[in-house]
Structure 1
């Protein structure tokens, strides 16, 4: 008989695989940057935001905060490494103004994370309160990240075109949210449940919009490459996406 813990681990591994795919989604963008030796109009902001999100989810999944959630820490650790690689590539090809922005933001994030983490760990000495504190912070950042597709969805409705909404990315976000929601329900984790439940809902709305406006999308328009950097995470959602 399959135990709840075994089922949770299996679902978590599936979630890790899907989340890993989402973390890799910006690769075409950075291939283009390297190929053209220019960041063009791409923005680094989503990657800086995802770094902050991933670090807090890594902390949330570590044993000194939540002992039974190592799969959350692993996928967000992988996501953190990938996001830092993306930022390094951006930094290498960016103009001086953008480079300064990256340095200032990363320094600010390090100070913010260190201050918040030390305060929580020093003030709260039991798992229950640490989970509550880190969980609330993680959910706040995740909700902010999950709200990013709202501008794209608004554009789809106003233009009656899905040109700027990639189907497979929307589908992956929906599946990612569903898998991590199931993970959170097997052994109730309210913080993973809230953020990924919203992620699944967001993905579902995107898919509905895609299906509704697909036929009305002009076929003679020049296909504009979607800048994946402006649509992220939601990974870790895993739990960036978690």
Structure 2
């Protein structure tokens, strides 16, 4: 029964995580369409890439005991492909300053992963110590990944606009963290459950902020009816001016 529950949570967690990694597709369609990264930040995607690389490595038999963490390999393997695609698209459409920022953050991140992989594979000779090294670093990176939307949340609060905090991303983030927290507790692995202890409350906070400022944005945004009413009022004023001018000219002629 417990094994079936773990499998069910892992499958649903995989689906939610893939949805989380796929959610920015909407954002990057906009980037490609406008040929501009606008005010979107590259940092969450680079941190997300490092997170996926680390947990793919963590789940492989090189680090884990055989295939005990196979669900981590499947979902994070998909995440590596998607996050790398986002970073490359961002780099392509970014301004020269933005390209420099991607390189300054991205290159050290990839080097860090290579060092961690090499040390875990060759410096340690048992699964326990390898998991301790990779899992500890992965835990820290995951917390940073789940905390990175705090920058966006700050911007939402300042601008009172949710334009740069898409709802699908917020929902998927909350669901994924909640499910992986459950899965980590079921398999008793602190490195799987740990990030979600931070991620789940942050996911809830993100949703609360979204719905609060979404309502504010809707209230502040003029409706189509108001715009049409304003246009009619403008036309009426212009007609009144014309009528006044005509009347004045007629009176002058008289």
Q: Tell me what 1:65 maps to.
A: 63
Task: Decide which moves more: 196-205 or 16-25.
Answer: 196-205
Q: Tell me what 2:240 maps to.
A: none
Q: Secondary structure at the match of 2:216?
A: coil
Q: How does 1:1-242 map to 2 (within 5 A)?
A: 2=1, 4-67=2-65, 68-154=68-154, 163=162, 166-209=166-209, 213=212, 217=216, 219-222=218-221
Task: Decide which moves more: 164-173 or 46-55.
Answer: 164-173
Two-structure CA RMSD over aligned residues (Å): 2.7
Please list the CA deviations of residues 103-162 of structure 1 after superposition, one character each: whole Å capped at 9, or x if unmatched.
454432332222222122222211111111111101111111222233455566678x57
Moved segments of 4+, more than 6 Å: 156-159
Greater Cα radius of gyration, structure 1 or 2: 2
Structure 2 gap segments, 5+ residues each = 223-254
- How many Å apart are 1:61 and its aligned residue? 0.9
Q: Secondary structure at the match of 1:217?
A: helix
User: How many equivalent residue pairs?
Assistant: 219
- How many Å apart are 1:210 and its aligned residue? 5.3
In the superposition, relative to structure 1, how do residues 44 and 12 fare at CA in structure 2: closer, same or farther (>3 Å)? Answer: same
2: CA distance between counterparts of 1:23 and 1:93? 20
TM-score normalised over the length of structure 1: 0.78
In the superposition, relative to structure 1, how do residues 86 and 182 fare at CA in structure 2: closer, same or farther (>3 Å)? Answer: same
TM-score normalised over the length of structure 2: 0.74
1: CA distance between counterparts of 2:24 and 2:189? 29
- How many Å apart are 1:188 and its aligned residue? 0.6
2: CA distance between counterparts of 1:35 and 1:169? 20
2: CA distance between counterparts of 1:216 and 1:139? 35
Q: Secondary structure at the match of 1:220?
A: helix
In the superposition, relative to structure 1, how do residues 86 and 218 fare at CA in structure 2: closer, same or farther (>3 Å)? Answer: closer
Higher helix share: 2
Structure 1 gap segments, 5+ residues each = 224-242
2: CA distance between counterparts of 1:93 and 1:214? 29
- How many Å apart are 1:173 and its aligned residue? 1.9
In the superposition, relative to structure 1, how do residues 169 and 98 fare at CA in structure 2: closer, same or farther (>3 Å)? Answer: closer
User: Is the CA contact 1:23–1:82 (under 8 Å) kept in the aligned structure 2?
Assistant: yes
In the superposition, relative to structure 1, how do residues 26 and 115 fare at CA in structure 2: closer, same or farther (>3 Å)? Answer: same
